[in-house]
Amino acid sequence: MRIALINPNTTASMTRKMAAAAAAVAAPSTEIDAITATIGPASIEGYYDEALAVPGLLAALRKAEAAGADAAIIGCFDDTGLDAARAMSAIPVLGLCEAALSLASFIAKRISVVTTDARARVPIEELVARHGMAGRVRVRAAGIPVLELENPRSSAVPRLKEEIVQALEADHAEAIVLGCAGMADLAASLQQQFAVPVIDGVVAAVKQAEALVSLGLKTSKRGAYAFPAQKDYAGALFGPMP
Amino acid sequence: MRIALINPNTTASMTRKMAAAAAAVAAPSTEIDAITATIGPASIEGYYDEALAVPGLLAALRKAEAAGADAAIIGCFDDTGLDAARAMSAIPVLGLCEAALSLASFIAKRISVVTTDARARVPIEELVARHGMAGRVRVRAAGIPVLELENPRSSAVPRLKEEIVQALEADHAEAIVLGCAGMADLAASLQQQFAVPVIDGVVAAVKQAEALVSLGLKTSKRGAYAFPAQKDYAGALFGPMP
Amino acid sequence: MRIALINPNTTASMTRKMAAAAAAVAAPSTEIDAITATIGPASIEGYYDEALAVPGLLAALRKAEAAGADAAIIGCFDDTGLDAARAMSAIPVLGLCEAALSLASFIAKRISVVTTDARARVPIEELVARHGMAGRVRVRAAGIPVLELENPRSSAVPRLKEEIVQALEADHAEAIVLGCAGMADLAASLQQQFAVPVIDGVVAAVKQAEALVSLGLKTSKRGAYAFPAQKDYAGALFGPMP
Amino acid sequence: MRIALINPNTTASMTRKMAAAAAAVAAPSTEIDAITATIGPASIEGYYDEALAVPGLLAALRKAEAAGADAAIIGCFDDTGLDAARAMSAIPVLGLCEAALSLASFIAKRISVVTTDARARVPIEELVARHGMAGRVRVRAAGIPVLELENPRSSAVPRLKEEIVQALEADHAEAIVLGCAGMADLAASLQQQFAVPVIDGVVAAVKQAEALVSLGLKTSKRGAYAFPAQKDYAGALFGPMP
Amino acid sequence: MRIALINPNTTASMTRKMAAAAAAVAAPSTEIDAITATIGPASIEGYYDEALAVPGLLAALRKAEAAGADAAIIGCFDDTGLDAARAMSAIPVLGLCEAALSLASFIAKRISVVTTDARARVPIEELVARHGMAGRVRVRAAGIPVLELENPRSSAVPRLKEEIVQALEADHAEAIVLGCAGMADLAASLQQQFAVPVIDGVVAAVKQAEALVSLGLKTSKRGAYAFPAQKDYAGALFGPMP
Amino acid sequence: MRIALINPNTTASMTRKMAAAAAAVAAPSTEIDAITATIGPASIEGYYDEALAVPGLLAALRKAEAAGADAAIIGCFDDTGLDAARAMSAIPVLGLCEAALSLASFIAKRISVVTTDARARVPIEELVARHGMAGRVRVRAAGIPVLELENPRSSAVPRLKEEIVQALEADHAEAIVLGCAGMADLAASLQQQFAVPVIDGVVAAVKQAEALVSLGLKTSKRGAYAFPAQKDYAGALFGPMP
């Protein structure tokens, strides 16, 4: 089984971190192809960055699918471009937020997402609402630029821990979801320190992708995710569907 | 006052239709600058087309804002790229769906949206839910490709009317919202024929844009719509914010 | 175009304030007819006052409509009697709360309403919920009797500003909606001081009324807003519909 | 214990029907004082009639409370003026819709309300939503003017039965709530005929009023139902609170 | 009329407290049969205890029904086993939470439930949501084991009062619902001390049960509460339905 | 890895069917221990059967956990006893409904559950609502007793197919979820016949259980799923937690 892990943040160090996390949990027979998008923002913080990350993501997805990927993961907690990717693809596509929330919902009633930049809080709250979990999930932003997570000397991790403390006390959180793909390396130590489940979206998505592929489940092509109609697409990036 | 009416569907005949509708209702002192995006799908039908339309839309918006637009309208009923556009801009940006639904909510309790292609039904239902109106709005798709609306000999209009009949009878609809920018020329005659308010998003958005500008209201730059952070954007389409 | 701005609070100084705010933003061709209801409470604070304000409001509306008004605005943030007014009238009728929230929703994701008396908080929360915006709007009461806003020496404005500070910090508010018609004169200076959009319902309703009239949209007479049936109405205030 | 049963429909034959239903179920120690409002519409069908019924209702309630009533019931399924009545009174006040729905919720999961005039459907749907029961209650209108229920030769009852059949089959209804005070005499025979619980609001409200009084529970005077503030009330109907 | 008050907590002192509260409010013609379940946990705190309390509860209910009970009350605020009991019985069955919330909803808009053990908070929040009241009810846990309420020297009552103070101030509560059957003896003194309605589920359920019986309303046997199908039930506790 | 698949329906042929489905998709290193509960109903159809199935389920779970299971699955689509099982266990516990819905949500927007007996429809609708998916999931009952699925000569499968046709046409379903553990053997052929994803809860839960175990995620023991407090449990089935 081959899973394409596509990082729509065009920052290779973040991709390497995700790839390591993914490889550590993948089944022996699963191959993780980690791909950094080549078009788009260095980090995705808010609606504007999300929108600009999508074409690069879709280009990478099309290439990965043509090369034989069995499933794809969008390596950003905002589930950037997820619906478009599903409509375009014959293979299943997973987002980090939905994957992490679904696993969290199996082991905890009240959940807090801790994310980075303040611009990301409302978009994630909207995702949570779309997943029907607004009544049991709170979202907190630690006020950390995403790329500070790539800098080992920054104060990002201490600030993240402060938000987790708040989540446990003020939100009655029973589990913590890490709200940024760049936190994939922190889950284990945070889980140990705080003695509650700490869930990273990258590894959650790897296991969900493996689940779908091993069950032979693919994106429905009836209704909202039907393949795009044949038509002209002006400009260079994308032609009509093959 | 100058309002940029940006059609993210890269089909000029549709832009002309919208421009005519907009001009017919604009205040004497309002100038409508109708712009057809040059990158993206000929018509927007579903999630994939929405995603691919956004870069062209944002490029056109940036240009229009630099040229002195006081407000902008995204000429697609799916409110394509709306949040990204707001984050990027200092001027107010309006979507057709939200503008039409808000006017409809002032004159009717139960509302039906009638749209074109079946791929568009669920995305519009999700928009309606995000606007908090799921309890009072139903969405129907007439099974018409968007571009058939550009063809005067097609069966698009009769099929549209059949759905309106269904909406009035089965949904208890008290007003009809036209769920596609390409229907802007049909509102008046449908309103007359069916004796209920029929609301087109293009003209609704023109009046809402005029309202915001004349009241000096601009997109909040605090929180979700804060200007994007400075960072690198890989690839040709967009550099960092100026 | 003639818009009747009917103040259901029977306090003329409040009507003058609203009329000035309305006139300042109305289109050159719009005439604002400001009317103070002659039956009802001096100020509307909570459910009881709302109920007692309605007959005077409807009497004034009927008179204004007969005199040729093209649209009407109910000058109270509680949208007092709005549904009854729409059922009775052939012209569009706007409420301040719905008008302000709709404009706010175009420029901000998270919104706080700041109102006066504590009795008004829950009714406004219920209005917000009916408009489907409970997930993105918080309501705060400054503990100010409405009529203190008419007294320039009161502490009303400082207390109002304290609530705005709380809204920005604790609610993550991105825009402020002024939750009382008597605050119409404060919007501009508050917007400047706090550097976020501050939206007053009176001017919002004027622009929405202009929008509806210029688009030829009237209240649907099918379903919930159908004209009342012919029947006897006991007592002096109202006879059957003409 | 004395319960004032106030009919805001100014039709005495309807009051007599309600009074008979109430008396038949009241506890031996309960006295029902049935009162027909003297100001307002002959029947309440939709928002306009609701609004015009309120002053007469409140006048009757104030008189009944002064005369020693221990609780009051508003004899209209639209729960007309309920919040205003509660704010004004020191005694508990019950509405028919909320009383019937609460009893229905104890004996069935899926419930259908069958009401009269089409104008009443949406207002009742809004009531249901405010009571948090939109997910389990459907509302149907039989297209019957309320006053036809007073006419034994009308086709009102057969049409009502047709809607009940539809509710059982299409809505999977497990219980029927009669959505008009004028149907109070029909509950027993309909329950027998259709072999499902059929709940009338009048008798439900009598038992809920008895419950509140016997438990010493009164309307909270903190927050939304605080007594109105002292102020001027212009016009004849009501002066300031005593 | 005979009402079986079944305490699924297998602690007789708690049953006696409930029985006294029930007897104090029951109508003269109502006989309260208080029954302590003989199988199950000494106190019900959270999901596990709820589940284990159900068989003992159902056994007691079956026996009570066979002995001629006209209605039954489940004496636990978690509404433990309520749906199963209704499906099994021909008589109406009431839960404490639903009974208390329905009475509270008639006299207050914003309500806080104050319960005991932290394990009970989320289950009660879920109950509140199922009753459609999540928007107006907050749940607070005082961190008290249920059985401490049986110990007059414990600090349970002072801690309970602290939570009530918080509820009034931070939640804007207008009424308090006691979230544990073991608090039935405290309602009157708390109501006097805090000058807001304080509602106990036991007495609320007694009056609702009397209401249903006196109106001849029984659990619907159509749909969700249909009698169980005939089949084998392995193990000793229950055989097939008689 | 050892997964206990506990069938709370006390029918061994159903367990064998589930076990075969589970074994067919389990990872090579996963051992499935299929267990038929020895206390409880032969089949679970509605609330009563659910309640009576729980003690047998918990007894089997305790035994399996003591014997070294790494995770457990409750083999019933009603997610019977799920919260109690999680509170009791140190290992993760999965339900069929939640597992199937989460996988379905990754590949389709609009989903229909097709279940057996009409008694199961409302309980499943309530589960769907608790999972926040009421807006995108419809539930249909084919009117089939569960045990007919064990009889190869019954008309169960044709009736099931009729409901799937209805779901695709009337509900716009994009994927089908099989709403009964006894349908585990039908998924593949139905998926082929109807050309949409058809999802069985048993195999979905196996993959989700593998995901949790391989990621080292266990049920949170903070808050709602904290281990039960030490106390007496009267009766034979369960003593205090070890």
Q: What angle do CA C209, C211, C215 make, to 5 degrees?
A: 120
Nearest CB to F132; choose among A99, A133, A195? A133
- Together in a domain, A77 and A195: no
**Terminus-to-terminus CA distance in chain A, angstroms?**
24
Percent of chain C with pLDDT over 70: 97
* Nearest residue of chain C to residue D41 (CA atoms): C233
Chain E: touching chains (3 or more CB pairs < 8 Å): A, C, D, F
Nearest CB to D199; choose among E188, E197, E217? E217
State residue A150's pLDDT score.
Answer: 87
Containing B59, the helix (H) or strand (E) segment is helix B47-66
> pLDDT tens-digit profile of C201-241?
999 999 999 999 999 999 999 999 999 998 898 885 655 54
Query: Could you give the C-alpha distances from A65 to A68, A91, A93, in angstroms and in order?
Result: 5, 7, 11
Q: Does C132 touch chain A (CB under 8 A)?
A: no
CB contact under 8 A, E212 and D107: yes
- Together in a domain, F150 and F191: yes
Query: Looking at beta carbons, which residues of chain D come within 8 Å of E132?
Result: 131-135
Q: Does D65 touch chain C (CB under 8 A)?
A: no
State residue B238's pLDDT score.
Answer: 60
Q: Does E107 touch chain C (CB under 8 A)?
A: no
Across the D:E interface, residue pairs with CB atoms under 8 Å apart total 139
Query: Looking at beta carbons, which residues of chain D come within 8 Å of E212?
Result: 103, 106-107
Q: What is the 3-state secondary structure (H, E, C) of chain E?
A: CEEEEEECCCCHHHHHHHHHHHHHHCCCCCEEEEEECCCEECCCCCHHHHHHHHHHHHHHHHHHHHCCCCEEEECCCCCCCHHHHHHHCCCCEEEHHHHHHHHHHHHCCCEEEEECCHHHHHHHHHHHHHCCCCCCEEEEECCCCHHHHHCCCCCHHHHHHHHHHHHHHHCCCCEEEECCHHHCCCHHHHHHHHCCCEEEHHHHHHHHHHHHHHCCCCCCCCCCCCCCCCCCEECCCCCCCC
What length is written for chain A?
Answer: 242
State residue E235's pLDDT score.
Answer: 80
- Determine how many CB atoms are found less than 10 A away from the CB of residue E27: 17
Query: Looking at beta carbons, which residues of chain E come within 8 Å of C121?
Result: 172
What DSSP letter does each residue of C152-171 carry, written as one string? TTSSHHHHHHHHHHHHHHHS
Look at residues A190, A47, A21, A197 and name the one whose alpha carbon lies nearest to residue A122: A47
Q: Which CATH number belongs to the domain containing residue D170 in this structure? A: 3.40.50.12500
Query: Could you give the C-alpha distances from B147 to A73, B80, B95, B119, in angstroms and in order?
Result: 33, 18, 20, 14
Helix (H, G, I), strand (E, B) or coil at A111: strand
What is the C-alpha separation between B239 and B230, in angstroms, rounded?
10
- Together in a domain, C189 and C207: no
> pLDDT tens-digit profile of C131-169?
999 999 999 999 999 889 988 888 999 999 999 999 999
Chain A: touching chains (3 or more CB pairs < 8 Å): B, C, E, F
Is residue A63 situated within a structural domain? Answer: yes
The interface predicted TM-score of the complex, written ipTM, equals 0.96
Residue of B133, B136, B169, B171 best to disrupt the D interface, most CBs of D under 10 A = B136
- Whole domain around residue B124: which residue ranges? 97-201
* Nearest residue of chain E to residue C122 (CA atoms): E109
Query: Could you give the C-alpha distances from A122 to A78, A118, B36, C138, in angstroms and in order?
Result: 10, 8, 31, 15
Q: Does E63 touch chain C (CB under 8 A)?
A: no
E strands of chain A, at which residues? 2-7, 31-36, 40-41, 71-74, 93-95, 111-115, 137-141, 175-178, 198-200, 233-234
State residue C237's pLDDT score.
Answer: 62
Mean pLDDT across chain A:
95
Pairing of strands A137-141, A111-115: parallel
Nearest CB to E215; choose among D25, D211, D217? D25
State residue A235's pLDDT score.
Answer: 80
Is residue F220 situated within a structural domain? Answer: no
Are chains B and F touching, using the cut-off of 8 Å on CB pairs and a minimum of 3 such pairs? yes
State residue B51's pLDDT score.
Answer: 94
What DSSP letter does each residue of B120-152 carry, written as one string? GHHHHHHHHHHTT-TTTEEEEE----GGGGG-T
Query: Looking at beta carbons, which residues of chain B come within 8 Å of A41?
Result: 228, 231-234
**pLDDT (average), residues D93-115:** 98
- Determine how many CB atoms are found less than 10 A away from the CB of residue C153: 6
Is residue D242 situated within a structural domain? Answer: no
Percent of chain C with pLDDT over 90: 90
State residue F238's pLDDT score.
Answer: 60
Q: Does C41 touch chain D (CB under 8 A)?
A: yes
CB contact under 8 A, C40 and D235: yes
Rounded to two decimals, the pTM is 0.96
Given a contact cutoff of 8 angstroms between Cβ atoms, the answer to whether E186 and E178 are in contact is: yes
Alpha-carbon gap: F161 to the closest alpha carbon of chain A (Å): 18
State residue B16's pLDDT score.
Answer: 97
Is residue C112 situated within a structural domain? Answer: yes
Give C93's strand partners: C72
Give the dihedral sign, CA B7/B12/B14/B19. Answer: positive
Alpha-carbon gap: F132 to the closest alpha carbon of chain D (Å): 12
What is the C-alpha separation between C237 and C205, in angstroms, rounded?
28
* Nearest residue of chain C to residue A121 (CA atoms): C172
Is residue D239 situated within a structural domain? Answer: no
Q: Does B130 touch chain D (CB under 8 A)?
A: no
Residue of B109, B169, B171 best to disrupt the D interface, most CBs of D under 10 A = B109
Judged against a pLDDT cut of 70, whether residue A40 lies above it is answered with yes
Look at residues E48, E49, E46, E47 and name the one whose alpha carbon lies nearest to residue E11: E49
- Together in a domain, C188 and C141: yes
Query: Looking at beta carbons, which residues of chain C come within 8 Å of B133?
Result: 132
Q: Does F221 touch chain B (CB under 8 A)?
A: no
> pLDDT tens-digit profile of F167-216?
999 999 999 999 999 998 999 999 999 999 999 999 999 999 999 999 99
State residue E234's pLDDT score.
Answer: 87
Are chains F and C touching, using the cut-off of 8 Å on CB pairs and a minimum of 3 such pairs? no
Query: Looking at beta carbons, which residues of chain A come within 8 Å of E129?
Result: 135
Q: Does F203 touch chain A (CB under 8 A)?
A: yes
Alpha-carbon gap: F197 to the closest alpha carbon of chain A (Å): 6
List the 4-33 stretch of F: residues with Cβ below 8 A of A: 25, 27
State residue D156's pLDDT score.
Answer: 92
**pLDDT (average), residues D220-233:** 94
Structure tokens at A14: 């973040």
Query: Could you give the C-alpha distances from E214 to B206, D2, D27, D32, in angstroms and in order?
Result: 61, 18, 9, 16
- Going from the first residue of chain E to its last (242 residues), give the mean pLDDT of each consecutive group of 10, the final group possibly shorter: 97 96 97 96 94 94 96 96 97 98 98 95 97 96 91 91 97 97 93 98 98 98 95 72 48
Mean pLDDT across chain D:
94
Nearest CB to D81; choose among C41, C51, C145? C51
Query: Looking at beta carbons, which residues of chain B come within 8 Å of F110?
Result: 122
- Together in a domain, D106 and D81: no
- Together in a domain, B73 and B106: no
Q: Does D134 touch chain B (CB under 8 A)?
A: yes
- Together in a domain, B102 and B142: yes
Is residue A228 situated within a structural domain? Answer: no
- Together in a domain, F90 and F124: no
- Together in a domain, B54 and B82: yes
Percent of chain A with pLDDT over 90: 90
Given a contact cutoff of 8 angstroms between Cβ atoms, the answer to whether F167 and F138 are in contact is: yes
CB contact under 8 A, E48 and F123: no
Query: Looking at beta carbons, which residues of chain C come within 8 Å of B108?
Result: 219-220, 223-225
Q: How far, in whole angstroms, is CA C170 from its chain's centroid?
A: 26
- Together in a domain, D175 and D207: no
Judged against a pLDDT cut of 60, whether residue D171 lies above it is answered with yes
- Determine how many CB atoms are found less than 10 A away from the CB of residue C69: 25
What is the C-alpha separation between B78 and B80, in angstroms, rounded?
5
Are chains D and C touching, using the cut-off of 8 Å on CB pairs and a minimum of 3 such pairs? yes
CB contact under 8 A, C217 and B103: yes
Given a contact cutoff of 8 angstroms between Cβ atoms, the answer to whether C67 and C59 are in contact is: no
List the 163-182 stretch of D: residues with Cβ below 8 A of C: none
D230, burial (CB in 10 Å: exposed 0-12, middle 13-18, buried 19+)? exposed
Please report which confidence band the pLDDT of residue A236 belongs to, taking 50, 70 and 90 as the band edges. low
- Together in a domain, E110 and E190: yes
The tally of domains found in chain D comes to 2
Is residue F19 situated within a structural domain? Answer: yes
- Determine how many CB atoms are found less than 10 A away from the CB of residue C216: 12
Alpha-carbon gap: B17 to the closest alpha carbon of chain C (Å): 17
Is residue E37 situated within a structural domain? Answer: yes
Query: Looking at beta carbons, which residues of chain D come within 8 Å of C38?
Result: 234-235
Judged against a pLDDT cut of 90, whether residue C54 lies above it is answered with yes
Alpha-carbon gap: D91 to the closest alpha carbon of chain E (Å): 10
**pLDDT (average), residues B165-180:** 97
Higher pLDDT: B192 or E152? It is B192
Helix (H, G, I), strand (E, B) or coil at B175: strand
**pLDDT (average), residues F35-50:** 95
State residue D236's pLDDT score.
Answer: 58
Q: Does B221 touch chain D (CB under 8 A)?
A: no
State residue E237's pLDDT score.
Answer: 63
CB contact under 8 A, C172 and A121: yes
**pLDDT (average), residues B26-55:** 95
- Together in a domain, B88 and B106: no
